[in-house]
Amino acid sequence: MSENVLSHGADGTGVTDSTPAFVEAITTLGKRGGTIEIPIGRYRIDQAPLVVSAPLHFRGEGGMVRTAVTADGHHLPGSVTTLLFPPDRDGFVVEAASSGSAHFEDLALVRTRASGPDAERFARRGIHAQSRIRAESLYLLNWERGIDLDGRTNHPADPDHVTAFATNDSYVSRIFAEDCFWATYAHGQDAQASHFEHVLTLSCEAGVYDSSEAGNGYVDCYVDGGFTEPPYYMDNLSVLLNCQCEAHLPPQFGRNVTVVGGGFNVHRLPPQVAKALGVMGTPFRQINGVPAKHEGGPFPGGTATFAAGETIGVTVDGVARTIALPAGAFTPRQVADRINAAFADLALPRVATANGFDQALTVEGWRGHDGEKVSVTGAPATLAKIGFPAARPSEGMTYGQMLSAPECSRAIFRAHSGLDTDGTLGINIPGVDEQLDVEVAYDAVRPVFWQIRGAYGDDHEFGVLREAGKGVRRWAFTRASSPRMISLAFTMPEDSLGPDQAVAYDGLWLQNGSGGRRVLLRSGAPEPTQGALEDTRPPTPPHDFAWDLSTDPPQHHTRTVTGWVADHAAGTAQPAPPAPPLELTLDQRSLVDVDDAAGRWQFEGGQVLRDGKRVADYAGTRRVVTGGTDVQNVAMLTLTLFFLDQAGEAGDSMTLQGAYRNSSGVAVGSVSAASSGFADRIGAQFRQVGQTLLVH
């Protein structure tokens, strides 16, 4: 069933309020839902929000293009359905009572800017989803949260609300957010297992936010903004594929966030900010850990009233400040402003954030942490007024996983995971039930892409979903039988290891439902500890098999009681990927000249820094030989780097040899020797200019 809003008296010219017409169309369709047709035009929704509690499909025209409405509200000729909302209201609220997914398509959702001396540039939500939604081809303008996937089980601003929100398995595609704060915002226990694709932002203060319990999948997203908050902020198990940003701040990813491909370019930062954030080197090194943070509860009554002389102490990243709170009533945003002002000399974007929806305050650091580095202290009565003390500060995360496109293996394995005609597991036999294409990282730690074709059904696929249809399922990195237990696992539900086991760290196992032989797909030869040992001599089926995807054609191995045995000679091995350039800084601590009858020695020592952190020590010699090197004013150079292991003790080493030009201070040569950790660098060229050493 469908209803056209014009049939209910909507004004497509934007002169009068169309809210009654939209409400009447929604009421007419009732709980069974249906389609609400919204032709091209400009519709004022003065009595927002529009509440959706049924599986309704709001379908406009024009697609994901800029609206025909300017920032100041003037109408311009255009070809997109535009809904105009007042500055102090949400656009749509999708209630949890919906029996299906609310669907929004081909619409421009525009919040009219607030005016006046205290007008907020950003406020409210374009779509406040409290249950699963489908949103595609939308243009969003002037929102604080363009699309808010709210999966909280409790609601600080509404303690009487007993129904938990759940937006799991939502689908968000082709979103163009302009002049917003966050384009998409996913948070809470049940705001995960969703797919975001082609989310584009322009001139947004931040970009994409995800603090859901497990995380979501993001494909081909682009952020232009990140002015006062990170362009991407994620502290869960989210996966990003081919995402990019051009931002003023680095994205912040937790240790379990996986990023493949794309690029993250950060604009030039003031030196003190770059040092504090650890932003140095090439774009893929510009990823900062998710910082420690301390979240407060709601302000009672929405404001906090202080008496003269009240103070709080805030410690962030080891810097402690006392904030005086003058007498009077203050909102969370006003308290946040005073805290930020106290840390203004650090030139960081912001320390305190006010959540206008929950009327709560959050204080956070900006460096990645493994422990609690944030605290808010003061008299108990004062702390209670601002929602503290709350739960213990959340621990900050270390650096997220980054995997650039050149690091991805191009080896693709085609095999079958279904049953053969005799009931056994089919191994590379055409015509069986399932066919699997896999693409993995060179290190075999992270499968990059896989696709199964066949009739096998699985209702629990999610993550970076690229396409879905009968007999074809495609996704990258993530799948699990429960949205709350997302992992890097690829085992099927009937696997003897159990469903959704994280076996992908050392390859990918396949097994049929009745047990028997298993198949290991790996980039590289299987490890001796992998696979089941057989206890019969000679070995009898079932065997464990493995395919080495790094050879061309793939090498087949069989697991025997003595270990893995290659069944046939490997084909031409694929060349190993070139090691990424190694950019280091030499911090000289000593330089001693020693003259002898043949010329001069120079002995140099110091520390080796990478991204500002000590990673090694070094010792070097430069030899000048009279009648040999002095003719060209050069010296023979030998430089050995002694790297630190995880415990800070002596680990791997690498020796470089070459020529040092005394006139310019430039050295060139190659790596002559190295321990196992740097064996792939032997023969690599190096160039030293001043303190900078580049091995490539």
Q: What is the pLDDT of residue 553?
A: 63
pLDDT: which is higher, 659 or 631: 659
pLDDT tens-digit series, residues 459-484:
333 334 333 444 443 333 333 333 33
* Amino acid residing at 310: E
Which band of pLDDT confidence, cut at 50, 70 and 90, is reported for residue 23? very high
Exposure string for 654-693, b = 16+ CB within 10 A, e = fewer: bbbbbebeeeeeebebebeebeeebeebeebebebeeeeb
Exposure string for 97-122, b = 16+ CB within 10 A, e = fewer: ebeebbbbbbbbbbbbbbeeeeeeeb
Q: Looking at residues 439-453, what average pLDDT do you find?
A: 48
Percentage of the chain surpassing pLDDT 70? 69
Which band of pLDDT confidence, cut at 50, 70 and 90, is reported for residue 417? very low
Q: What is the pLDDT of residue 473?
A: 37
Residue 581: C-alpha distances to residues 90, 282, 446, 696 (Å): 49, 10, 21, 4
CB atoms within 10 A of CB 164: 15
Which band of pLDDT confidence, cut at 50, 70 and 90, is reported for residue 300? confident
Q: Which of 85-89, 94-98, 486-490 has the lowest mean pLDDT?
A: 486-490
Q: Which of 160-174, 205-219, 424-438 has the lowest mean pLDDT?
A: 424-438
pLDDT at 543 over 60: yes
Token representation of residue 693 = 């050493």
Q: What is the pLDDT of residue 98?
A: 57
pLDDT tens-digit series, residues 608-630:
998 888 999 999 999 999 999 98
Q: What is the pLDDT of residue 677?
A: 79
Q: What is the pLDDT of residue 403?
A: 56
Exposure string for 125-160, b = 16+ CB within 10 A, e = fewer: bbbbbbbbbbbbbbbbbbbbbbbbbbbbeebbeeee
Exposure string for 478-497, b = 16+ CB within 10 A, e = fewer: bbbeebebbbbbbbbeebee
Which band of pLDDT confidence, cut at 50, 70 and 90, is reported for residue 452? very low
Q: What is the pLDDT of residue 136?
A: 94
| Report for 16-25, 89-98, 390-399, 610-619: range of highest mean pLDDT | 16-25
Token representation of residue 522 = 């790996």
Give yes or no for a contact between 276 and 316, defined as CB atoms under 8 angstroms apart.
no
pLDDT tens-digit series, residues 303-329:
999 999 999 999 988 889 999 999 999
Which band of pLDDT confidence, cut at 50, 70 and 90, is reported for residue 283? very low
Q: What is the pLDDT of residue 124?
A: 93
Q: Which of 439-453, 521-535, 656-670 has the lowest mean pLDDT?
A: 439-453
Average model confidence (pLDDT) across the chain: 77
| Report for 449-458, 482-491, 551-560: range of highest mean pLDDT | 551-560
β-strand partners of 94: 52, 129
pLDDT tens-digit series, residues 109-140:
999 988 877 778 888 999 999 999 999 999 99
Which residues of 262-301 form beta strands (DSSP E)?
A: 263-266, 288-289, 291-298
Q: What is the pLDDT of residue 137?
A: 94
Which band of pLDDT confidence, cut at 50, 70 and 90, is reported for residue 564? confident
- Please list the helix, strand and coil fractions of the chain in percent, rounded to the nearest 5, in that order: 10, 45, 45
pLDDT at 492 over 90: no
Q: How far apart (Å, rounded) are the C-alpha atoms in residues 54 and 56?
A: 6
* Amino acid residing at 439: E
pLDDT at 434 over 50: no
The closest of 211, 203, 212, 213 to 183, measured between CA atoms, is 203
Which band of pLDDT confidence, cut at 50, 70 and 90, is reported for residue 282? very low
Q: Which residue has the tokens 């422990």?
A: 371
Query: Which ranges constitute the DSSP H helices of 327-406?
Result: 332-342, 380-385
Q: Which residues contact 188 (CB under 8 A, 6 or more apart)?
A: 149, 150, 151, 152, 153, 165, 167, 212, 213
Query: Which ranges constitute the DSSP H helices of 499-655?
Result: none
Q: Looking at residues 6-16, what average pLDDT do you find?
A: 94
pLDDT tens-digit series, residues 133-162:
999 999 999 999 999 999 988 766 566 666
The pTM score is 0.66
Percentage of the chain surpassing pLDDT 90? 39
Q: What is the pLDDT of residue 623?
A: 94
Q: Which of 118-122, 199-203, 552-556 has the lowest mean pLDDT?
A: 552-556
What does the angle CA 108 – CA 109 – CA 115 come to, to the nearest 5 degrees?
125
pLDDT tens-digit series, residues 204-250:
999 999 999 888 888 889 999 888 888 999 988 788 877 888 888 88
Q: What is the pLDDT of residue 475?
A: 36
Give yes or no for a contact between 554 and 568, defined as CB atoms under 8 angstroms apart.
no
Q: Which of 290-294, 517-521, 626-630 has the lowest mean pLDDT?
A: 517-521
